[in-house]
Structure 1
Amino acid sequence: MLTNNSKDQLIIKILIAFAAIVYLVGLFVDVAGDAAKYAAIAKNIYHSGDFVNLTIHGDAYDQKPPFLFWLSTLGYALFGISNFSFKLFPVLYGLLGLFFVYKLGSSMYSKQVGKLAALLLGFSEIYYLYSVDVHTDVVLLSNMAFALWQLHEYLKSKKAVNFVLGFFGVGLSVMTKGPIGLFVPALAVISYLLFNQQYRELFNPKWILGLLITFVTAIPAFYGLYNQFGLEGIEFFFWTNNFGRIAGTYVGSTNTDYFFYLHTLLYIFAPWGFVLFFAIFFEFKSLAGRKANKADYFLHGGIWLFFLILSVARGKSPNYILIIMPLLTVLLAKWLNYFLEKPETGLYRVVTKLQGAIVVLLWVCLMLFVGYLFPMKQFAYWGLIVVGLVGTWFIYKQGSTPAIRFFAPSMLVITLLSFFLNAHILPYIFQYQSSIVATRVFNEKADADARLYNYDYEQFELFFYGRDEVELIEDSTELKVVTANPDSWIFCYEKGLKDIQALEVPVDTIYEFKHRGVYRTGIQFINPSSRERSLGTTFLVKLK
């Protein structure tokens, strides 16, 4: 229930402006792990001009289709290679997805539900986080929301333009993360037709035309894989890379926690995770007591079977849930709109008290992070916290509607938490991501004709941050060849250093770094009293 009250509108506009600043700050944060790998692949595209035959450290790459990399390559072409240019267009594309979520909610239920859904998603930790740690999934979410919006419009209006755009959106989803992008729209459409008893429509030949549109849109992905891997690449794209992760036969996936996405949603969808489960409970309770409307079948068809598959799959990661977040967010918006229309009921009081408790909990977490775990010394940052506390009090006391008192404090605290994550906590942690630190040492100190090598280090940061092409040393035989070349720089762990020393080659300088990977922090690192004990050691070896 977002009203036209001028005071409430001003509060929302201020929060949106603050959120925009947070998203902007996140563009400059370093990347590691998969995000660094994607940045390096886009860097290779930029240098080679080859947009379909993807490579990483000189080897052909088959894990992801090229759509994300194209967006980042555009950033490199306009602004040069940097964190900012890698993230800019994927993040902007992700933010465009909020508009598509608004249109999806409006198409399925009402404009009010659409507005709420877009706000809920844009002011959620999952969206803030994956706009910093850029994965294919935030781009996939946008394409998925667009496809679902257009397909639902087609089911309502039977307009050909919605049909074509819907399957074009499905094709873009396939171009972003493979055939999994076809699965959710197919389930949503089949469920809609089946439960609305439109059985003839299920077998209409027009769906073959839709699949053809999808296939044609995704041709660049197929072409690159076939060109580099032959038919094995096509098999990998359609089967191994998706169903192998589900079965646990690919990339060593072993997560058997069937409740992983349930408890993950509680924090990754903060501050709305708890009320989401509240809304899901009442949605099923409502469905048990009445006949669902047409949009409900589209909604639940697109969510629950896929959610079940994700839950039983051996390969799990929090970002995998993003593909169904457009529908989950619409479901939540639908019920929050209902709750807040009835402020006199006990149900309203329960929901508002629950969300108020979440606001308090998030403030406690924020103070714990910046006051103890990663203490801040900047006076201006503490001033911002004071402003946030005063703003929260003002909204609760002066907000003119139940809706603004419900939403705005949560939006404020999650945005503050994300701001300090981007501006303070992540930069602090990244000083221990020694691969990036070492690469910057090389970029600054090495001669123009020096070469940087990666030996015995399993991640990809060097390939993105290195000023020139970085080479991978895969075994001791290759190491022996490299060490025969003067002015080689080799990044490695202690084992790699011992391998180099065993060759008795002349060494100029050994740079030593404290190391803890951003994705492997753990309780011992987070706790200041045990942080030093959690650190490993890496080395950058400059040969004579």
Structure 2
Amino acid sequence: MLNKRVFLLLCVIGIAVNGIGLFTGVMMIDGALYALIAKNMVLNANFEFLTLHGFDWLDKPHFPFWCTALSYRVFGITDFAYKLPAFIFWLIGLWYTYLLARRLHGRNVARIAVLIYLSALHLLLCNSAVNAEPYLTGMIVAAIYHFYRTYRGNAFSQLLMGTLWTAMAVMTKGIFVLIIIGSGFMVLWLVRKEWRQFLNYRWYLAVALLLVFILPELYCLYYQFDVRPMAEVFGRTHVSGIRFFFWDSQFGRFFNSGPITGHGDPFFYLHTLLWAFLPGSLLVPFAVYFSVAKRKPAIGHPLLWGSILITLLLFSASQFQLPHYLNALFPLMSIWVAQLLAGMDRLALNGVIHRVQWYSGLLIVILLCTLVFLFHDDNWWMFAIGIAGVGGATLVYGRRISANHTLFVSYAVGLLIGIFYGAYLYPGLLSYQSGDQMGRFINANLTGESHPDRIYVLDQEIENFTLGFRCEMPLRAIRSGEQWETLNDGSLLAVSTERLNEIPRDYEVEPVASFVGYRVSRLTPEFFYYRTRDAQLSKFQLVRLKKR
């Protein structure tokens, strides 16, 4: 279906579209939070402790923060330096998706899988709004590839590499990643009745090596929390970092019994999959059908659908659910769908498959043009014309029923979504982050010997994350009444208008500057529509405190 030159050209275009986000800002909540914590690592010259606003922080493991801190050391504390390591791991996921697909199904399927990976909606989004998932996406498919090589041969080097990638994944998200990596192999052995694999010494050696490789993470957690029982996190002291890593952060969330809780919906990941894996998500039901229908050509590999099925079932049963948890499955889903497309011309439903992708592509192009108008950012009409022109040309060219045209329409429409988000919507949303605005104001006007050496903030305010990352002065959070008494006369406080009443009456409040913004990670129709947006905005203020 794809010759080498066309494939490489499409890859370059896809990587460029995904890379747009490297040169835009950092979005709250997770992106700004992680960027700030890594910044604290560098400024404090302490790669063992995770801190936020001067306090101990415990939620995610250390590995992504180490990568980001290293990038800061090389490129400086910038948006680009924060996003680059995640983008590299996403590229590693791209490479290993190709390798795994080629080993399972051949070069043609591998090339198609790469294009599906490049155009998957939520992977495109996460390359702009970077969190831990781009790291995890690359690590998990790399681990599965090397363990599959171990399963098919006896090379110790493959076992070692698989375990190294697994260890990095565990030090990024926790031990639940072992389910994604291991469940597919267990299903594969059950389907093929390879009972001896469950007793094969290699897999127990991998577990032993894994425990060795994650020792840096365990040491840091022990050193920051278990050795320091008075460190306060989650509103309490005597918190074990080791216990949190192995239980509370994983099983505690699953059973909703840990310090971080949520509300689970058994159908959450089904409807999330419909949009998060666009435009390939509409092909998944066909892949499932031809995997179980016993029709030729056979679709599906137990390693792939086993891992996807088990992980989806467990995630759906969890009480703590977020859309980006699915990203780690997208390399495997890309390979599964790629095998469907590679054999599509021989399938009885090839016309149905093509029409589903073509008409969904038409609806997406219309929707994108509508969203461009509704958001109404600068030069909105240029983006609308561009999307309509490119989308229309794509649909006209890809109207004929064939696997090639179906793939081309899907890929082009996926990248159009990426361009809309990365080049238009994402930068437009960032302009409403009041923490960013305040940070730039402080850097330009309030630095130097005649100004305070820190900015105080109230705890649990989301704007503080972007402010802390952007601001050149350190932030210190106020968590208790006793801390108010330690403030010097003339201290600067960043606070939302809604929380001004929390300032003790002992202080006279002198306004310095105010900034209008919105919590852009939680979009509403009222904010998105430009005519009703102003009513949704709130103020984030910088004030000077003077003792009465």
Question: What TM-score results when the alignment is normalised by the length of structure 1?
Answer: 0.90
The whole-number CA distance in structure 2 between the counterparts of 1:111 and 1:126 is 25
Residues 280 and 332 of structure 1 are in contact (CA less than 8 Å); yes or no, is this contact kept in structure 2? no
Match of 2:470 among 458, 465, 468: 465
Q: In terms of mean alpha carbon deviation, does 408-417 or 125-134 score higher? A: 408-417
State the distance in 1 between where 2:111 and 2:509 align.
65
| Matched residue type, 1:46 | V
Which residue does 1:418 correspond to in 2? Answer: 418
CA distance in 2, matches of 1:389, 1:405: 14
Partner of 2:34: 38
When the two chains are superposed, the root-mean-square deviation of aligned CA atoms in Å is: 2.5
Residues 175-324 of structure 1: matches in 2 within 5 Å? 175-230=171-226, 232-251=240-259, 253-286=261-294, 296-324=301-329
CA distance in 1, matches of 2:288, 2:489: 63
For the Cα contact (< 8 Å) 1:94–1:138, is it kept in 2?
A: yes
**For 1:398-409, what aligned pairs fall within 5 Å after superposition?**
402-409=402-409
Q: How far apart are residue 85 of structure 1 and its match?
A: 0.8
CA distance in structure 2 between the aligned counterparts of 1:66 and 1:356, rounded to whole angstroms = 43
Which string of whole-angstrom CA distances, capped at 9 and with x for unpartnered residues, describes residues 460-517 of structure 1? 22221121211111134323432x332x22111224322337334262x342332310
Is 1:432–1:514's contact at 8 Å kept on the other side of the alignment? Answer: yes
Counterpart Cα distance in 2 of 1:430 and 1:227: 37
| SS of equivalent to 2:467 | helix
* SS state at 1:529 partner: coil
Say which SS state the counterpart of residue 542 (structure 1) adopts: strand
Superposed CA deviations along residues 144-174 of structure 1, whole A, max 9, x for unmatched, are 0011001111111222222221122211211
- How has the CA–CA distance of structure 1 residues 476 and 422 changed in structure 2, closer, same or farther, with 3 Å as cutoff? farther
The answer to whether residue 93 in structure 2 is matched with residue 97 in structure 1 is yes
Match of 2:432 in 1: 432
- Partner SS for 1:513: strand
1:472 and 1:326 map into 2 onto residues whose CA distance is 40
Measured at CA, do residues 172 and 527 of structure 1 come closer, stay the same or move farther in structure 2, by a change above 3 Å?
A: same
1:50 aligns with 2:46: yes
Distance 1:327 1:166 in 2: 16
Aligned to 1:170: 166
Matched, 1:479 2:474: no
Measured after TM superposition, the shift of residue 253 of structure 1 is: 3.1
Asked if the contact 2:27/2:521 (under 8 Å) is kept, the reply is no
Aligned match of 1:499: 502
> Secondary structure in 1 aligned to 2:127?
coil
Residues 206 and 154 of structure 1: CA distance in aligned 2, closer, same or farther (over 3 Å):
closer
Superposed counterparts of 1:325-344, under 5 Å: 325-339=330-344, 341-342=345-346
C-alpha distance in structure 2 between counterparts of 1:65 and 1:252, whole Å: 15
SS in 2 for 1:2: coil
Closer/same/farther in 2, CA of residues 406 and 524 from structure 1, 3 Å limit = same
TM-score computed with the length of structure 2 as normaliser = 0.90
Q: SS of 2:405's equivalent? A: helix
Aligned-residue identity in percent? 26
The structural deviation recorded for 1:440 is: 1.7
Give how far 1:49 is off: 3.0
Q: 2:349 aligns to what SS in structure 1?
A: helix
The 1-side partners of 2:124 and 2:215 are apart by 32
Deviation at 1:458, TM superposition (A): 2.5
Aligned counterparts of 1:26 and 1:479: Cα–Cα separation in 2: 40
Contact 2:248/2:259 (CA < 8 Å) preserved in 1?
no
Q: How many residues align?
A: 528
Q: Identify which range, 170-179 or 520-529, moves more after superposition.
A: 520-529
Which of 17, 32, 43 is equivalent to 1:22?
17
User: Partner letter of residue 368 of structure 2?
Assistant: L
